[in-house]
C-alpha cells in the first residue's frame, strides 16, 4: 500500500486549553471528478483565525497530498498549500486549495504551482448514514514491518464482533475489543473504555480509525487507520510520519 491523514482522526473532537483551541475535522468530497477524503487539524489564534494542517487522499488511486495554511475568522476564507511530503516549509508547493470553509462545507478552486486554475473542489463534514451497513470482515494489512489485523461483524448498523490488533516493527502491540456502541450521525462508533472506533462511508471504501486508545496499546504502539473496500479487503493508512 502506498501509505497514507493522520488523521484519519475520523469524526469531530475539540480540545480547549487556557491558551488555545484545537479541532480535528474529517470531510468527504471531490477534487475535480475524483472522490477524496480530507482531514484537517486546526488551531485557533488570538485574533480568531486558524492555523490549518492535514492531508487528503484521492480515493480512486489512494494518492496522498499534504496541506497547510490558514482559515480567516468570520468569512472562513481558507487557503492551503499542497505538497507530497508532511513538511511543506521551505519546499515549493505542487498546488494550492483556495476557497471558503463555512457551515461544514469547504469549497473553491485548486491551483497549480504557477497559479494556473486546475479544478474545482468541494468537501463536506456530512457523511452518509450507516444505519443499514452490514459486513463481515476478516482482513490483514501491513506496510513495512507494521501489521494490522481486523475481525469485524456489523449487521444493519449494529455491532456484533469487533477485534482489532496492530503490531509495531519492534513487537509492541495494540489490542482493541469493542463490545459497546454509541450513536453517531453519519457513521458508526464502537467503544472500549475511553477508546473510540469510528467508521465512515467514503464511497468505494469504509474508513476505520481509532481515537483515545492508548490504554489498549503498549508504550511504543499506536493504531493506524484502515480503508475497507466492498470486498472486505483492507488497506493500511499510514497517516503521518512517526
pLDDT 10s digits, 190-199:
999 999 999 9
Pairing state between β 205-211 and 117-124: unpaired
- Compute the average pLDDT of residues 5-23: 47
Residue 67's closest CA among 93, 45, 91, 92? 93
Quote the cell numbers at residue 130: 450507516
- Compute the average pLDDT of residues 206-226: 92
- Compute the average pLDDT of residues 63-82: 93
- Give the pLDDT confidence of 84-114 residue by residue, as tens digits: 887 777 788 899 999 999 999 999 999 999 8
Do you know the residue count of the chain?
242
Pairing state between β 105-111 and 117-124: antiparallel
Hey, CA dihedral for 182, 185, 189, 193, is it positive or negative? negative
Distance CA 210, CA 189 (A): 10
Distance CA 213, CA 228 (A): 20
DSSP 35: E
Quote the cell numbers at residue 223: 493504531
Distance CA 91, CA 157 (A): 44
Distance CA 108, CA 145 (A): 39
Residue predicted with more confidence, 160 or 211: 160
Strand pairing partners for 120?
Answer: 109
Strand pairing partners for 211?
Answer: 196
Amino acid at each position: 500500500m502506498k501509505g497514507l491523514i493522520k488523521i484519519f482522526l475520523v469524526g469531530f473532537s475539540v480540545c480547549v486549553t487556557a491558551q488555545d483551541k484545537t479541532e480535528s475535522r474529517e470531510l468527504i468530497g471531490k477534487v475535480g471528478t475524483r472522490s477524496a477524503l480530507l482531514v484537517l487539524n486546526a488551531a485557533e489564534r488570538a485574533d480568531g483565525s486558524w492555523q490549518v494542517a492535514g492531508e487528503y487522499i484521492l480515493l480512486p488511486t489512494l494518492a496522498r497530498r499534504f496541506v497547510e495554511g490558514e482559515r480567516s475568522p468570520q468569512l472562513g476564507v481558507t487557503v492551503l498549500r499542497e505538497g507530497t511530503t508532511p513538511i511543506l516549509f521551505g519546499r515549493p508547493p505542487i498546488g494550492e486549495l483556495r476557497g471558503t470553509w463555512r457551515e461544514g462545507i469547504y469549497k473553491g478552486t485548486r491551483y497549480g504551482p504557477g497559479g494556473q486554475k486546475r479544478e474545482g473542489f468541494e468537501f463536506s463534514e456530512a457523511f452518509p448514514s450507516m444505519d443499514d451497513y452490514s459486513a463481515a470482515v476478516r482482513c490483514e494489512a501491513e506496510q513495512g514491518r507494521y501489521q494490522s489485523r481486523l475481525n469485524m461483524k456489523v449487521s444493519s448498523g449494529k455491532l456484533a464482533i469487533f477485534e482489532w490488533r496492530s503490531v509495531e516493527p519492534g513487537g509492541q502491540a495494540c489490542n482493541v475489543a469493542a463490545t459497546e456502541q454509541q450513536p453517531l450521525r453519519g457513521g458508526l462508533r464502537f467503544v472500549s473504555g475511553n477508546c473510540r472506533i469510528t467508521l465512515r462511508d467514503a464511497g468505494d471504501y469504509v474508513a476505520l480509525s481509532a481515537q483515545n486508545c492508548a490504554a489498549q496499546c503498549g508504550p511504543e504502539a499506536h493504531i493506524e487507520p484502515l480503508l475497507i473496500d466492498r470486498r472486505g479487503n483492507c488497506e493500511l493508512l499510514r497517516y503521518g510520519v512517526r
